[in-house]
Amino acid sequence: MISSAFAQAPAGGGDAGMMNILFIVLMFVIIYFLMIRPQMKRAKEHRTMLEALQKGDEVIAAGGVLGRVSKMGEAYVTIEIAPNTEVSVQKTAVQTVLPKGTLKSIQS
């Protein structure tokens, strides 16, 4: 009276696994191009800017401190923020090198 029930194999089971792997790879590629690669590019540009930094450059340091580089060390830079007022900061704290004459235009 009761017939036997037989389990059937899932339709397209191997294809769904491949789609999951492709989805994960696609997500990694998107994350790489939208997040990782631009951050690496910015870090490289910052490193190049720090290597080209020299005495007399006008800079913006972390926290918005504007000044002129007066002394250069291996890891630290001394910035003159006002006449006879100098501040030492880590080289990595220098965020931007300004064009020459920017400080005079800001102060006046």
Structural domain including 64 reads 55-108
Order across the sheet with 66-72: list the strands.
Answer: 85-90, 76-82, 66-72, 58-61, 94-98
Domain count, the chain: 2
Each residue's pLDDT tens digit, 15-73: 788 899 999 999 999 999 999 999 999 999 999 999 999 999 999 999 999 999 999 99
Same domain assignment for residues 64 and 108: yes
CA distances from 72 to 13, 64, 107 (A): 64, 19, 24
- Residue 46, in any domain of the structure: yes
Same domain assignment for residues 102 and 60: yes
Same domain assignment for residues 99 and 62: yes
In this predicted structure, what is the pLDDT of residue 14? 63
Each residue's pLDDT tens digit, 71-103: 999 999 999 999 999 999 999 999 999 999 888
Q: How many CA atoms lie within 13 A of 97 on its CB side?
A: 18
Same domain assignment for residues 96 and 73: yes
Reference 67, options 55, 82, 54, 51; nearest CA is 82
Same domain assignment for residues 75 and 108: yes
Same domain assignment for residues 47 and 61: no
- Residue 9, in any domain of the structure: no
- CATH number for the domain spanning 79: value is 2.30.30
- Residue 3, in any domain of the structure: no
CB burial string 60-77: b at 16+ within 10 A, e below: bbeeeebbbbeeeeeeeb
